[in-house]
């Protein structure tokens, strides 16, 4: 049954192999030059913060447009790979046999349905994980320098740090977990819905929903966030921002020790520890308040920011947790499918 | 070796057609004692019929004492159909012809005669199935 | 002879509609069983339940003494050729044989190869480009090469031309002669039955109307034709299956265990095809309660 599953999977595997090969060729051709640019830019060895930012900016501006396009395209591909695997490898795995009627041939041979499904799940599931893993391996290797430089240039904004939404999902090992999960999701949708197009649609919708909701609802809380308190200087208080409700907060300054960290939330407190209420500072709420007067009024309040964050050093812990959870979910879905298919018949 | 035919339109059961064809062959001398009948496999390959039908026909023939099945070797003709001697046949042919002439003289038409004949024949030989 | 398929009170309901109802059968082994009925009568449902593709709504079914598809051992002993003979279109003929070998422990690859050669199929040809007759032969090979005790076929020849149909039945009968397997074969075409089947089940409107050995059925059914008669005057031992009347003549198709003595009747045997049609239309009439042709009241 393993051999037969491989025979049925051959065409899809070939498509994946060709895509991987093309990807590898382009990245291999452009990689060395990119690394050369990075090595000679001085970004790797820079010490002072201001230096690093300017060096990074100059590096990024020197990178040819094609490479930048490849960078974004590559990241896009890594987002797409698990989705496509779920829709095109997962959903049709079983529905194709239902729709063509070959399930009546497959289920009347000398193997039980459980073994039939397990073999298919194992062969294609492992293929899915390998494919996603290889794509990720290639991109992570190639995009490393550019990732570092961009993060520096953009001042560690959430979009560009490794722990951020974009890079976390498209580098290192998380795509492997996503591919396994998307695949299992597709197979489950196929087994329950029994028709290919609806199953593909449901797989895409559910997977996308999970990917969107996951980082904020689950990932942020996988490890208890760290906390730090930052004293705000007069210069910092110029950087006011609207907080939840109608409160006013002070944006935390960028700190070297928080570089690359994922800031989850913060609140501004004053002196004794109460939440800062700007309404108590008439100089700042007056209709035509003067910035200088407002800042002077805030000084004696000893404003501080309490920041909850995930340190950059936790990156690999998060990667393993996330991959592990998604693979576990995939296995659970696979188990459900095997149980379901033994229990229920054609109708 | 005899080759069987099948007439699907005749309404006669398949196995009976095989039996009748063996009878016919014996009567005409196309089959002689000691000759082998086609195996079930050979008949099936030619006619695409149920092999049990062939076996049933051969069993009936064996009951009539005309053939004998030798396990592993085939079915062979052992007997022959009792041939009534030609004189007896001639006598009855003459009696029949006389009867027909007198029936015709009495005014019976051919269809009447045939109906009478069939009724009498049936009653005499009490046909059950087919 | 032990029963290969035994059912008691078997039924299958889809939504509000019963595809099969009150099915009680004891199909003996060593026979070629014909399952006949119009389209939608429930034949496919019954066969799918026998091979474990469908679960019954009520009642029980046992195949070779065990619940259908009870495990790999039973799956091996029962071969199935589904309606429209599904195959994997992009896989070659040889690939299908390998598929059979991988999925069936007791696969007879010599038999499979011989049959493919005999039929004249090219092992490298893709199954999707085979003709209907060739596909049917491939499906039959796949089912036979696992050496089953029971072979179940769902309308295998319905969409084949007459020559392909004859070839298929010939191949099937040769396999029966060679291996002595039991066969259950469904069809909505009554014509081929007499050649091939020695046990008959007639299924109409989701119920079994008739079941028995062909020889016994022929021996117990007669066509009686004679002067016009009220059906009530027939003895109770003669069950009327079909009747038609003109102003002077009545014809009855009856089922009876004893001989027919009444001299007023012209008694003729009933061909299998007429017999099946009579039972099929009887069920139909009972359901529809419509007047039959030829009745002059």
**Cβ contact, residue pair B126, C169, below 8 Å:** no
If pLDDT is split at 50, 70 and 90, which confidence band does C31 have?
A: very high
Structure tokens given for C114: 């011989």
Kindly list the residues from chain C whose CB atom is less than 8 angstroms away from the CB atom of residue B11: 269, 271
Distance CA A220, CA A314 (A): 12
Find the closest chain C residue to A116 by CA distance.
C103
Contacts of C6 (CB under 8 A, 6+ apart): C25, C26, C27, C61, C62
For the cut 60, the answer to whether the pLDDT of residue C137 exceeds it is yes
For the cut 70, the answer to whether the pLDDT of residue A261 exceeds it is yes
Structure tokens given for B89: 């046949």
Query: Which residue from A4, A105, A108 is facing C75, i.e. has the nearest CB?
Result: A108
Structure tokens given for B105: 């003289």
User: DSSP state, C128?
Assistant: G
* Residue A347 in domain: no
Structure tokens given for B27: 């009567």
Kindly list the residues from chain A whose CB atom is less than 8 angstroms away from the CB atom of residue C54: 345-347
Q: Are A306 and A227 in contact (CB under 8 A)?
A: yes
**Cβ contact, residue pair C173, B49, below 8 Å:** yes
For the cut 90, the answer to whether the pLDDT of residue B88 exceeds it is no
Which residue from C158, C24, C7, C20 is spatially nearest to C82, judged by alpha carbons?
C158
For the cut 60, the answer to whether the pLDDT of residue C209 exceeds it is yes
Chains touching C (at least 3 CB pairs under 8 A) are A, B
Distance CA A128, CA A117 (A): 16
The pTM assigned to this predicted structure is 0.84
Find the closest chain C residue to A99 by CA distance.
C86
Residues A181 and A294 occupy one common structural domain: no
Per-residue pLDDT of C54-68, as tens digits, reads: 889 999 999 998 888
* Residue A88 in domain: yes
Residues A231 and A320 occupy one common structural domain: no
Lowest mean pLDDT among A110-114, B8-12, B35-39, C124-128: B8-12
Residues A140 and A211 occupy one common structural domain: yes
The pLDDT, as a whole number, for residue B127 is: 53
Which residue from C233, C226, C229, C224 is spatially nearest to C259, judged by alpha carbons?
C224
Distance CA C275, CA C281 (A): 10
Rounded to 10 degrees, the C-alpha dihedral C200/C201/C204/C205 comes to -170
Structure tokens given for B42: 């050979």
How close is the nearest chain B Cα to the Cα of C196, in Å?
5
CB atoms within 10 A of CB A38: 19
Residues A100 and A151 occupy one common structural domain: yes
**Cβ contact, residue pair B44, C170, below 8 Å:** yes
- Domains present along chain C, CATH in parentheses: 3-205 (3.40.50.300), 218-296 (no CATH)
Find the closest chain A residue to C140 by CA distance.
A105
Contacts of C26 (CB under 8 A, 6+ apart): C3, C5, C6
Distance CA C185, CA A82 (A): 46
Q: What would the mean pLDDT of A17-42 be, rounded to a whole number?
A: 90
Residues A298 and A333 occupy one common structural domain: no
Distance CA C244, CA A27 (A): 86
Residues A319 and A187 occupy one common structural domain: yes
Find the closest chain A residue to C96 by CA distance.
A4
The answer to whether C176 faces chain B, any CB pair under 8 Å, is yes
Q: Are B2 and B37 in contact (CB under 8 A)?
A: yes
Find the closest chain B residue to C170 by CA distance.
B48
Residues A118 and A237 occupy one common structural domain: no
| Beta-strand runs (E) in B14-90 | 67-70, 74-77
For the cut 80, the answer to whether the pLDDT of residue A238 exceeds it is no
A55-62 own/partner pairs: CB under 8 Å, 24+ apart? A55/A152, A56/A148, A56/A149, A56/A150, A56/A152, A56/A153, A57/A153, A59/A149, A60/A146, A60/A149, A60/A150, A60/A153, A62/A37
The domain tally of chain A equals 2
**Cβ contact, residue pair C87, A112, below 8 Å:** no
Distance CA C140, CA C185 (A): 12
Distance CA C229, CA C262 (A): 13
**Cβ contact, residue pair C53, A108, below 8 Å:** yes
SS3 A109: coil
For residue A286, the enclosing domain spans: 226-311
Residues A115 and A246 occupy one common structural domain: no
Kindly list the residues from chain B whose CB atom is less than 8 angstroms away from the CB atom of residue C194: 8, 13-14
């Amino acid at each position: 049954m393993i051999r037969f599953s491989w025979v049925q999977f051959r065409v899809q595997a070939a498509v994946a192999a060709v895509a991987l090969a093309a990807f590898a060729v382009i990245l291999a051709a452009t990689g060395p030059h990119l690394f050369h640019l990075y090595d000679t830019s001085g970004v790797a060895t820079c010490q002072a913060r201001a230096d690093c930012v300017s060096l990074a900016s100059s590096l990024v501006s020197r990178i040819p447009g094609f490479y930048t396009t490849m960078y974004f395209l590559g990241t896009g591909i890594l987002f797409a790979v698990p989705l496509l695997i779920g829709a095109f490898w997962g959903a049709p795995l079983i529905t194709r046999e239902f729709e063509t009627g070959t399930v009546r041939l497959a289920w009347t041979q000398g193997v039980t349905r459980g073994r039939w499904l397990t073999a298919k799940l194992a062969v294609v599931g492992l293929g899915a994980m390998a494919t996603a893993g290889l794509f990720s391996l290639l991109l992570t290797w190639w995009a490393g320098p550019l990732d570092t430089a961009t993060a520096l240039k953009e001042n560690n904004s959430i979009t560009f740090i490794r722990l951020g939404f974009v890079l976390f999902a498209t580098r290192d090992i998380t795509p492997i977990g996503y591919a396994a999960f998307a695949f299992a999701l597709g197979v489950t949708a196929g087994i329950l819905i029994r028709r290919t197009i609806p199953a593909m649609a449901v797989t895409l919708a559910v997977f996308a929903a999970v990917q969107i909701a996951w980082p904020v609802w689950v990932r942020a809380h996988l490890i208890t966030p760290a906390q730090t308190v930052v004293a705000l200087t007069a210069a910092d208080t110029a950087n006011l921002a609207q907080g939840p409700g109608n409160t006013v907060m002070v944006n935390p300054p960028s700190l070297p020790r928080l570089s690359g960290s994922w800031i989850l939330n913060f609140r501004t407190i004053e002196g004794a520890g109460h939440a800062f209420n700007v309404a108590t500072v008439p100089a700042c709420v007056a209709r035509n308040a003067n910035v200088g007067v407002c800042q002077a009024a805030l000084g004696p309040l000893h404003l501080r920011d309490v920041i909850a964050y995930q340190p950059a050093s936790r990156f690999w812990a998060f990667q393993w947790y996330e991959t592990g959870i998604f693979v576990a979910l995939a296995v659970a879905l696979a188990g459900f499918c095997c149980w379901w298919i033994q229990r229920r018949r054609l109708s | 070796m005899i080759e069987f035919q099948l007439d699907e339109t005749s309404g006669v059961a398949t196995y009976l057609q095989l039996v009748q064809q063996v009878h016919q062959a014996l009567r005409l001398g196309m089959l002689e004692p000691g000759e082998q009948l086609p195996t079930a496999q050979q008949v099936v390959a030619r006619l695409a019929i149920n092999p049990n039908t062939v076996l049933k026909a051969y069993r009936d023939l064996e009951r009539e004492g005309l053939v004998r099945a030798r396990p592993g070797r085939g079915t062979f003709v052992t007997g022959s159909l009792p041939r009534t001697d030609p004189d007896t046949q001639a006598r009855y042919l003459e009696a029949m012809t006389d009867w027909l002439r007198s029936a015709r003289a009495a005014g019976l038409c051919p269809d009447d005669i045939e109906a009478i004949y069939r009724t009498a024949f049936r009653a005499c030989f009490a046909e059950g199935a087919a | 002879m032990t029963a290969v398929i035994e059912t008691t009170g078997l039924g299958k309901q889809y939504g509000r509609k019963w595809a099969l109802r009150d099915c009680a059968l004891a199909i003996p082994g060593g026979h070629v069983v014909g399952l006949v009925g119009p389209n939608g009568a429930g034949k496919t449902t019954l066969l799918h339940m026998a091979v474990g593709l469908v679960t019954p709504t009520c009642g029980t079914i046992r195949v070779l003494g065990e619940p259908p598809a009870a495990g790999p051992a039973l799956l091996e002993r029962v071969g199935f050729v589904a309606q429209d003979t599904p195959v994997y279109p992009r896989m070659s003929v040889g690939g299908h044989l390998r598929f059979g070998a991988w999925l069936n422990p007791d696969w007879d690859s010599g038999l499979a190869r011989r049959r493919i050669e005999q039929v004249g199929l090219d092992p490298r040809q893709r199954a999707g480009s085979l003709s209907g007759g060739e596909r049917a032969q491939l499906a039959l090979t796949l089912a036979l090469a696992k050496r089953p005790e029971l072979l179940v076929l769902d309308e295998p020849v319905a969409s084949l031309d007459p020559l392909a149909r004859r070839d298929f039945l010939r191949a099937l009968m040769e396999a029966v002669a060679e291996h002595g397997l039991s066969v259950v074969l469904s069809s909505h075409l009554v014509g081929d039955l007499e050649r091939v089947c020695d046990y008959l089940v007639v299924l109409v409107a989701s119920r079994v109307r008739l079941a028995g050995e062909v020889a016994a059925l022929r021996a117990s059914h007669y066509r009686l034709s004679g002067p016009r008669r009220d059906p009530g005057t027939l003895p109770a031992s003669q069950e009327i299956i079909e009747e038609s009347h003109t102003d002077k003549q009545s014809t009855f198709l009856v089922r009876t265990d004893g001989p027919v003595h009444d001299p007023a009747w012209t008694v003729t045997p009933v061909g299998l095809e007429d017999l099946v049609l009579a039972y099929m239309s009887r069920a139909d009439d009972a359901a529809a309660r419509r007047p039959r042709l030829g009745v002059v009241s």
